[in-house]
Amino acid sequence: MIGMIPNARIAETVVDRLRHHTARNIMLDPVTVAKSGHALLDDATAA
């Protein structure tokens, strides 16, 4: 399972590693805002 990814650079790295390992059946938790209302990722990643 992949949790919150805070920025585009890390997201690209995750994708690269998943492709490298030919990952299958990936579970992604797309939480982008904390219960407190604070954003958990930067604007570039949210777009």
1-47 pLDDT, tens per residue? Answer: 888 887 889 889 999 999 999 999 999 877 778 889 888 777 776 66
Instruction: Name 24's Cβ contacts closer than 8 Å, sequence gap at least 6.
Output: none
Q: Is residue 2 included in any domain, yes or no? A: no
Q: Is 17 within a domain?
A: yes
Residue 23 lies in a domain: yes
Kindly report the pTM of this predicted structure: 0.67
Q: Is there a domain that residue 20 lies in?
A: yes
- 15-19 long-range contacts, CB within 8 A, separation 24+: none
Instruction: Quote the number of domains for the chain.
Output: 1
Q: Are 40 and 15 in contact (CB under 8 A)?
A: no
Residue-range definition of the domain harbouring residue 21: 8-46
- Tokens 């949210």 belong to 46
Q: Is residue 24, in this structure, part of any structural domain at all?
A: yes
- Residue 12 resides in a domain: yes
- What's 5's DSSP letter? -
